[in-house]
Structure 1
Amino acid sequence: MSRVAAITAAAFLVLAAPAAAEDYAAFARNIIPSGQYGSVPIPPGADEQARMYDALTPLFDQVSADDLLRTFKYAGFGVGPDGPARPEPMPRAGVTVVRDRFNVPHITGRSRDDVTWAMGWLLQQDRGLLLAQARDAARLAAIDAPNIYAFGLVINLRQYTPTKAVDRMIERNGLRALRQAGAPGRALLHDIDVYLQGINARLKAEKSTAKPWTRVDVFAANAVTGEIFGEGGGDEARRSEFLSSLRKRYGTARGNRMFDDFSEFDDRDAPSTMTKTFRYGHKNLAGRGNAVLDAGSFTPTGPKGLARASKVPDWASNFLIVSGRRSTTGHPLFVGGPQIGYTYPGLTLEADISWPGGQARGATAPGFAGNILIGRGQDYAWSLTSAGSDVVDTYVETLCGGSKAKYRYKGRCRTMGRVDAGTIKDVGRVVYRTTVHGPVVGYAKVKGRTVAVSRKRASFGQDVLWQLSFRDLTVGKVKSAATFRESLASSPFTFNVGYADDRDIAMYSAGRLPVRPKSVDPRLPVKGTGEYEWRGFLAPSKRPFQVNPPTGALVNWNNRPAPGWGAADDNWSYGSTQRVRMLDAGIAKRRQHDLASVTGAMNAAATTDLRSEALTPILERLLKAHPTGATPRAARMLEWLVGWRAAGSSRLDRDLDGVIDAGPAPAIWDAFYPRLWAAAMPVEGVQAFVGDDSGTSSDFTDGGFWYLEKDLGRLAGNRYRDPFNERYCGAGDAARCAAAIWAALDAVPGEPDALRADATRERIAFRPGLLPTTIRYTNRPSGIQQVISFDRHRPR
């Protein structure tokens, strides 16, 4: 009897296992450190992927083929070596699901609808906790509620209750966008409705008291993703206040030159992923279409303490894609993924889906109606990094009628709209005004007169259309680099998308990008009187796209996509030094690569201190050329810094003793950098826009060290294509600058040889604190990371 039972069980597993389509991948592995589990209490094995992810970190660039098998899990179709397969009962006849040992669901449907329904069911099953917390708060992103970071409410477990008017607005906008998209929009709406059936069937099976999910929930889920990762710009008000203060302090001409330096709009020394030039935006501080706010006059509307700091988020997504001619196999190599932070429950979860005529696998997320966000099809893979291109503008509204609720537009005095968006618990009512441009985010003064400030987002009301691209990628409509570009052209959000198949590598920078009048400088607020409105949107053919570049690689770490591409007003980091240079250097070490060496290049950069790499050689030359002011302890500190840089600038703690292995140098840099900034950058107010944490807390995206690299580099003898207009450290006097830096080094407290950096403090914890596991600091993709290469393709 036991033998019969075993045979019967085996037969069931065969029937339940996904009937995988032909897999053209020569190698396919992935990892999601937050894992597939999402319930509380924490189930056994919930941190298994986190521990595998952590095991790669101490290998630095010494990654072997065996290491890939050990630190990444199987990402082919079907359960494969990640068994045993565990069948899971499903209440829909057309679908079967088996779970592998990582709890990843492998879904087989008799139709695409079966799979879409199952993905809704499993989303509620695996991420019910996240959905319960996020579904209402996400609505605030969809309506652009002023000065509220919706995702912050999710992470900080704040409760928001929307009004019915909010739901009506979101549904109206989403349905209008889908109708305008034609047949693809209708197909997507059908998917959404089937997906909702799956979510709600699971809620019913759980006997949940939660309200059934609606289209509004799906539209809002996509909006909050765009809020976090898919937009750029919108900080013109604060930036113009800074310009006003520079002009007041230094005079108009010099203040303008300094503003051009700090905004890093189109720095020819900034690293770009592509070799082809694409132009977007132009500087024009004398343009008639802008208004400059009086310094210190802007007062935001809305609840206090709920806005994200208006600067580029600490993005860390990257991809390294190597062409076949630089690969040992003759086929492209793909290593990449999005960085979305570390949470439990994870913001992404994995699915392997199969139906007649379709097969895909990768990370999905709430709101993805049967679609894969980052992943692979039969013969291609794709991944994203946030591009942050300028899709949000700020308008200055001229008030009229003696009221703060009336404004002038196209010669008429109009009354502002009013939105009652509901209540945030322990915060209060969310009520705001609107103009033709969007929500009123604050009030300010221009030449002493009070004005309203509003915000216009190009992707507003279009959020759900982001799914159209992923639907094409998921169902296999993409068959080449050219069709990849066509599918991504519909995205309203601004992302860099990397692609590889068995023959080609490609990148496309997507987004609904406004075309502004030449009389408007995109770094400053626009006059809202009606003469300076957008002139449509940038054509897909003018957005950055390149296939098989002459360098043989496409490497992106949230740097600008192409030469000539102007930075968004909220991004002042497109300078001469960015993290991507470390990835570029890793790829440049070899002419020919395999997947292990590309992964090693990524992994080495993930624990490298960029300040050390970029600034130490400059400081060494400058300080040794001007030794006046050097004390023995300052000289000793410089010696430690130079030695650390020569050894690779790693912040690793390999032996897990709680101390970074490199000795005193990491601690010296941590204490030295703020002192270096104070000594070398005498302009007040800059760090309000670039942040003051230059180290691991910002993943080396903050602190303004790129300004120091260029200013100090010129004093040390470096040549730049775009040198700064002004001199900053020592007013351009190298000896005076060096003396100030020597003093800053000497001011680092402690005995140089005894200093040590605390590695435990830098360990990564999973927010909001439900999962107790922590892992070593690393600066690499967390939403999913794929290591994949294809050696065949469907008939072309």
Structure 2
Amino acid sequence: MGVVFRWLMRIASGLVLLTLAAIGLVYFLASQSLPDYDQTLQVKGLNAPVEIVRDTANVPHILGQTDPDVFFGLGYAHAQDRLWQMTVMRRTVQGRLSEVFGQRTVHIDKLMRRLDLYGLAHQSFEVQDDYTKAALRAYAAGVNARLDEINENALGRGAPEMFLFNAPVAPWQPGDSIAMIKLMAVQLSGHLQDEVLRARTSLMLNDPQRLSDILPDVPGAGIAALPEYAALFPNLPRYAANSEPAASWLNPVPQRGLAGASNAWSAAPSRSATGGTLLANDPHLGLTAPGIWYLARLELAKGGVIGATIPGIPAVMSGRSDRLGWGLTSSYLDDQDVHIERVNPDNPEEYLTPEGFKSFKSRPSIIEIKDAPPITLTLRWTENGPVLPGTHFNLETITPPGHVASLSWTALSPRDTSISASMALMNADTVREAIEAAELFIAPSQNLSVVDKTTVGMKLIGAMPSRDLNNQSRGRIPTPGWIAANRWQGRLPYSDNPEFVAPAGGVLGNTNNKIIDRPFPLHVSYEWGDTQRVHRWEFLMQSREVHTRDSFIEAQLDTVSFTARSLLPLIGADLWFTGEAAPEGTPERQRQIALTLLAEWNGEMNEHLPEPLIYAAWVRALQKRLIADDLGPLAKEFKHVEPLFIERVFRDIDGASAWCDVRQSAPVESCTDMARLALDDALVWISERYGSQLESLRWGDAHQATHDHPVLGEVPVLRYFVNIRQSTSGGDNTLQRGRTSGEGPDPFQNVHGAGYRGVYDFADPDSSVFITATGQSGHFLSRYYDDQAQLWRRGEYIPMSLDLDLARAAAVGTTRLMPQ
């Protein structure tokens, strides 16, 4: 027995030692790619020495003798910290993910090949101005200098992920940075999905009048009645069933409701306590680890520029100089139209145009797939844009037999000068110069908020499509592509883009709300990203005569839900403090406790409170009950609560209370019945998921920010090291926006929010502040991988200073790049 025991001990000890050795080897290999921030390096492609001083937050301050040398330094710094992220983003826009990840990403590669954004980006390089061309070339050389350093010094392949997903990393090219902007356009565009969903919903509803309830127009002037989609294509089935959904892993196409958001507001000196202009900006994107944003300071010939960059793009997208501050919000410009093209029944290589049948432009494209045979696609384009098969975006559910769908989209321009606009913006001195520089911006369309030392302004930037006044759907649903009136007529003049400069009230802002009310085709959009946050913003801005940096920070971090305050009195109107006393533990008692808590709640979506979870679960269950019988399987496409829909139903606007009656049941249900049943549904779900003690619930347990690694985040064990999870306040409709997933076992996880926050004060520019949601490094062994995460969660910031002495005083390292 003793011999057996000794051998078991030896085996166990051996296994422990082997495990420790394996962990040590993994750590050693992974740590080889940790960058050395304190070194002197000779590199190719540099004209003069470049210095990269990294302050205590690892923000690089990049100094060089010329602007191209500074952009070289930025490319090197981006590649030091975010090489894996940059290579995955480039492979995404190239349609080459499957070479590394296999079958899981074939669907994405097919879409990106058909859009051909990478090819269009490289064509666009030739139309940039000379300053931008020089910057793109220098930036690419900086990235490649880091690649050379990795190869020559065996620096762990550049990133830990490269050991698990090994594939050659091609040199960076100038056009690759333009492709990154086009990839951002994919992530920030959702009108294609909206058109398809509107068409599918119209086919599903028995009463066409109900379409304006579930997909309501933003309050304001109405629009002319649209034709039913079934009338445009009468041979479609009346009920459009769901098609097979594509895998979402690494998919850049946003789900409905997650196509970009953001906040920005500014105050003129007349509304500033210190007499200087103020600007706050927090762009919203999907939360990942590392985040999309990277903080940097560039010392250009015109002076210092500091703010948020995107790895792969040599520009500060939101930030400030000592003269100017700028920020971006999604404009929700309708810059996409789906066309249904009629294929020639006698020749499938032709499609119908206003001038008769014409041939598709076609070419083959081969997708290499890891551990599988390659596949060959036939890419086809019409005069309206690329042809998309029915397997994308559920297009097969709305495309009649003998037809195909094509896409018109401003991002498909081969003469995209958006990067030149970004370069000119960094060198602008005044609001007017910044607005003029932004005329070159094509896509993705944004609202540019900009301030100089005396003036505030906001301009919608990006190409606005020119549509015919007789367009059959006004861009709201797919239309026949062979009818001339449905086709785009080019681009509207930049002067038609909405513009607001030096308003009388002294305050400008945008929460993705409707910014203008003009008749079609100057309308900008019928779909807007916010109808709720803007009300809270208006209250906060008007509640003070003058503002400060701190009041702007307070507004960025505000978690009071206007939506909760407006909906709860409606849906609970007949339920508050009603009913007899009920025994402990019964559904009736739980309902009374929940209603008592909500009746005394001020609408603050604080992570430590139970009421936000009860409210969110209630309205989610309520919408599901209201639409399930009318929309059937299509109901699952409505993953987020639509406040205007709930309000229309409970106010019975234009007969919208009809949604409360379950058509398949004999009784006629009232809206009060549905509210009570939905509350019971919510309480049962909460009890099963979080327990039955309502007073001890925490919204933050359900509303965790999911900064997940896009690739390693699903790997067992490893995911605990690479994913960043945090309890957070806020919600779908608060200024501190934490958009929920709306699906799965954890529908209230925070998956989309402010990955960057910045507040710029031009009374004292170096008192400006900024923060990202994770950290500067993309290397999970780095101390800078998540060092900003807890600051971000707590609503704290780091200094945004152009004082080089301050950066040097506690620098974590200084890299000196010397010409070879």
Other-structure match for 2:479: 526
Deviation at 1:418, TM superposition (A): 4.0
Instruction: Name structure 1 gaps, 5 residues minimum.
Output: 1-38, 47-84, 142-149, 270-278, 653-660, 694-701, 716-722
| Higher mean C-alpha deviation, range 612-621 or range 168-177 | 168-177
Seen in structure 2, the aligned counterparts of structure 1 residues 211 and 584 have a Cα distance that, compared at 3 Å, is same
Within the candidate set 495, 516, 541, 2:495 is matched to 541
Which residues in structure 2 correspond to 1:745-764 (within 5 Å)?
Answer: 745-747=679-681, 748-749=683-684, 753-754=694-695, 756-757=697-698, 759-764=700-705
Seen in structure 2, the aligned counterparts of structure 1 residues 98 and 620 have a Cα distance that, compared at 3 Å, is same
| Higher mean C-alpha deviation, range 348-357 or range 486-495 | 348-357
Distance 2:631 2:378 in 1: 29
Other-structure match for 2:761: 789
Distance 1:197 1:458 in 2: 29
Other-structure match for 2:204: 245
1:121 aligns with 2:66: no
Other-structure match for 1:728: 658
Partner AA of 1:98 in structure 2: V
Distance 1:367 1:507 in 2: 26
Partner AA of 1:481 in structure 2: V
Deviation at 1:512, TM superposition (A): 1.4
**Cα contact 1:509–1:545 (8 A) shared by 2:** yes
Percent pairwise identity: 20
Seen in structure 2, the aligned counterparts of structure 1 residues 194 and 406 have a Cα distance that, compared at 3 Å, is same
Instruction: Name structure 2 gaps, 5 residues minimum.
Output: 1-28, 152-156, 158-167, 391-395, 583-587, 714-720, 730-735, 738-752, 766-820
Seen in structure 2, the aligned counterparts of structure 1 residues 264 and 386 have a Cα distance that, compared at 3 Å, is same
Partner AA of 2:301 in structure 1: P
1:260-297 Cα deviation digits (max 9, x unpaired): 3443345319xxxxxxxxx9x97642799955754455
Distance 1:565 1:639 in 2: 46
Seen in structure 2, the aligned counterparts of structure 1 residues 379 and 587 have a Cα distance that, compared at 3 Å, is same
**Cα contact 1:629–1:742 (8 A) shared by 2:** no
Deviation at 1:602, TM superposition (A): 1.8
**Cα contact 1:575–1:706 (8 A) shared by 2:** no
Other-structure match for 1:457: 409
Other-structure match for 2:441: 491
Within the candidate set 197, 214, 226, 2:173 is matched to 214
For the residue of structure 2 that corresponds to 1:173, the secondary structure is: helix
Distance 2:658 2:376 in 1: 44
Deviation at 1:301, TM superposition (A): 10
| Higher mean C-alpha deviation, range 564-573 or range 421-430 | 564-573
For the residue of structure 1 that corresponds to 2:341, the secondary structure is: strand
Seen in structure 2, the aligned counterparts of structure 1 residues 368 and 128 have a Cα distance that, compared at 3 Å, is same
Deviation at 1:395, TM superposition (A): 0.9
Distance 2:507 2:101 in 1: 38
Other-structure match for 1:741: 675
1:517 aligns with 2:461: no
1:394 aligns with 2:338: yes
Seen in structure 2, the aligned counterparts of structure 1 residues 314 and 539 have a Cα distance that, compared at 3 Å, is closer
Other-structure match for 1:359: 304
> TM-score with structure 2 length normalisation?
0.70
Other-structure match for 2:615: 669
Distance 1:495 1:192 in 2: 22
Distance 2:535 2:519 in 1: 18
Seen in structure 2, the aligned counterparts of structure 1 residues 766 and 321 have a Cα distance that, compared at 3 Å, is same
Other-structure match for 1:65: none
Seen in structure 2, the aligned counterparts of structure 1 residues 340 and 615 have a Cα distance that, compared at 3 Å, is same
Distance 1:767 1:742 in 2: 37
Distance 1:689 1:588 in 2: 39
Seen in structure 2, the aligned counterparts of structure 1 residues 575 and 243 have a Cα distance that, compared at 3 Å, is same
**Cα contact 1:317–1:338 (8 A) shared by 2:** yes
Distance 1:498 1:173 in 2: 28
Deviation at 1:735, TM superposition (A): 9.6
Within the candidate set 599, 605, 616, 1:642 is matched to 599
Deviation at 1:527, TM superposition (A): 0.9
Which residues in structure 2 correspond to 1:427-442 (within 5 Å)?
Answer: 429=375, 431-436=377-382, 437-442=384-389
For the residue of structure 1 that corresponds to 2:490, the secondary structure is: coil
Deviation at 1:217, TM superposition (A): 2.5
**Cα contact 1:311–1:570 (8 A) shared by 2:** no
Distance 1:549 1:623 in 2: 45
For the residue of structure 2 that corresponds to 1:204, the secondary structure is: helix
Partner AA of 2:758 in structure 1: Q
Seen in structure 2, the aligned counterparts of structure 1 residues 500 and 553 have a Cα distance that, compared at 3 Å, is same
**Cα contact 1:398–1:451 (8 A) shared by 2:** yes
Distance 2:122 2:619 in 1: 51
Seen in structure 2, the aligned counterparts of structure 1 residues 239 and 171 have a Cα distance that, compared at 3 Å, is closer
Deviation at 1:415, TM superposition (A): 4.4
1:412 aligns with 2:343: no
For the residue of structure 2 that corresponds to 1:347, the secondary structure is: coil
Seen in structure 2, the aligned counterparts of structure 1 residues 264 and 740 have a Cα distance that, compared at 3 Å, is closer
Other-structure match for 2:457: 506
Other-structure match for 1:328: 273
Other-structure match for 1:5: none
Other-structure match for 2:61: 106
**Cα contact 1:682–1:729 (8 A) shared by 2:** no
Which residues in structure 2 correspond to 1:566-577 (within 5 Å)?
Answer: 574=528, 577=531
Which residues in structure 2 correspond to 1:143-292 (within 5 Å)?
Answer: 173-174=120-121, 176-179=123-126, 181=127, 184-207=128-151, 210-229=169-188, 232-233=191-192, 235-246=194-205, 249-250=206-207, 255=208, 257-268=209-220, 284-285=226-227, 291=233
Deviation at 1:123, TM superposition (A): 1.7
| Higher mean C-alpha deviation, range 290-299 or range 735-744 | 290-299
Deviation at 1:573, TM superposition (A): 6.6
1:705 aligns with 2:635: no
Other-structure match for 1:480: 430
Seen in structure 2, the aligned counterparts of structure 1 residues 95 and 678 have a Cα distance that, compared at 3 Å, is closer
Distance 1:326 1:238 in 2: 43
Distance 1:355 1:397 in 2: 49
| Higher mean C-alpha deviation, range 513-522 or range 769-778 | 769-778
Deviation at 1:535, TM superposition (A): 1.4
Partner AA of 1:438 in structure 2: G
Distance 1:674 1:518 in 2: 39
Distance 2:38 2:284 in 1: 30
Within the candidate set 126, 133, 138, 2:93 is matched to 138
Partner AA of 1:526 in structure 2: T
Deviation at 1:398, TM superposition (A): 0.8
Which residues in structure 2 correspond to 1:299-378 (within 5 Å)?
Answer: 308=253, 311-313=256-258, 315-369=260-314, 371-378=315-322
1:703-751 Cα deviation digits (max 9, x unpaired): 2232102332x25xxxxxxx55644354699993223323333443255
Seen in structure 2, the aligned counterparts of structure 1 residues 771 and 320 have a Cα distance that, compared at 3 Å, is farther
1:186-223 Cα deviation digits (max 9, x unpaired): 43223212221221122112216632122342232222
Deviation at 1:600, TM superposition (A): 1.0
**Cα contact 1:287–1:519 (8 A) shared by 2:** no
**Cα contact 1:123–1:366 (8 A) shared by 2:** yes
Deviation at 1:452, TM superposition (A): 1.1
Distance 2:42 2:648 in 1: 60
| Higher mean C-alpha deviation, range 229-238 or range 205-214 | 229-238
Aligned residues: 655
Seen in structure 2, the aligned counterparts of structure 1 residues 389 and 117 have a Cα distance that, compared at 3 Å, is same
Deviation at 1:321, TM superposition (A): 1.8
**Cα contact 2:196–2:398 (8 A) shared by 1:** no
Distance 2:696 2:321 in 1: 50
